[in-house]
Structure 1
């Protein structure tokens, strides 16, 4: 029976296990005084490496690799928040459809006043506005409280109403 601590990392009869775990003597990746590679290992604050080669292990800086502000990870969304986001997202999708239908109904009337070159870009922007609002709120409120995200989405529900569809409708007057 061997007392090698790396035995747990190999199978019985695996001849190449030790060569993969140990660097050649004198190599650059070898921790001083041991036969174990240090690689570029790093531990988060509060964790300490022990054993052979532990002096070559560094610590991760607070905030490295974390997208949330203040070094905290973003909390997962709750069920109520996900349900509300789905409903408001569906309303925004219906708003986009309403802008398409209402805008196409107003196009003949708008052609009496403005040219297509002026009407089409604003029509496209009006159709894309609900999706752009949803995306902007999603990105800009990341890492904040859920109620701020919901409040801003509800402000968009009020501001982005497809008025041509509401006033004229599908059939028109």
Structure 2
């Protein structure tokens, strides 16, 4: 009696497990997913094509192959990688300084209001004051939005340039720092 030992090398134990069935493709069906990642042959979403560190895709459609990060997340070519922790901390500190600059423009501008209205019309002064108050927030949002596709150091340079340009001089000269004790 043949025990089938000759065929043992041709199969794995559990090959007939129905939970491992990945489906069959019909003849002539395209096995590759379309641009949206949808597998037309099986009607299911196909996993994105990605390679781990050290591997580079070459050939046709190599620009659509993603990259597998060390933590297992898949980053596709069009995806933007999340900001690093030091960059998030730096942006938080800069955003806080810009908020302090906004408060400095409010306090310094309101302290100069009575004096400056001798030189400028009240309406002109109010317009200039609220533009100065809005300037730090506008600079931060604009620099952040326009440098999204740039390197991180370019974003930091533009944000630091804004800190130099937007110093709240009325607060420094007349505010808490520039007051004379009587």
TM score, norm. by length of structure 2: 0.59
Aligned: 1:146 with 2:137: no
The higher relative CO (CA closer than 8 Å, separation ≥ 6) is in 1
| Separation in 1, partners of 2:141, 2:124 | 26
Q: 1:164 aligns to what SS in structure 2?
A: helix
| Separation in 2, partners of 1:127, 1:82 | 25
Corresponding residue number in structure 2 for 1:43: 34
| Separation in 1, partners of 2:159, 2:34 | 39
Alignment of 1:102-117 (within 5 A): 102-117=108-123
Q: Which has the higher helix share?
A: 1
Give unpaired runs (5+ residues) of structure 2: 1-17, 22-32, 45-60, 65-76
Corresponding residue number in structure 2 for 1:16: none
Kindly report the root-mean-square deviation, in angstroms, between the aligned alpha carbons of the 2 structures.
Answer: 3.5
Shift in Å, 1:56: 8.5
Equivalent in 110, 123, 127 of residue 121 of structure 1: 127
Corresponding residue number in structure 2 for 1:169: 175
Give unpaired runs (5+ residues) of structure 1: 9-41, 64-70
| Separation in 2, partners of 1:83, 1:48 | 38
Corresponding residue number in structure 2 for 1:132: 138
TM score, norm. by length of structure 1: 0.61
Corresponding residue number in structure 1 for 2:96: 90
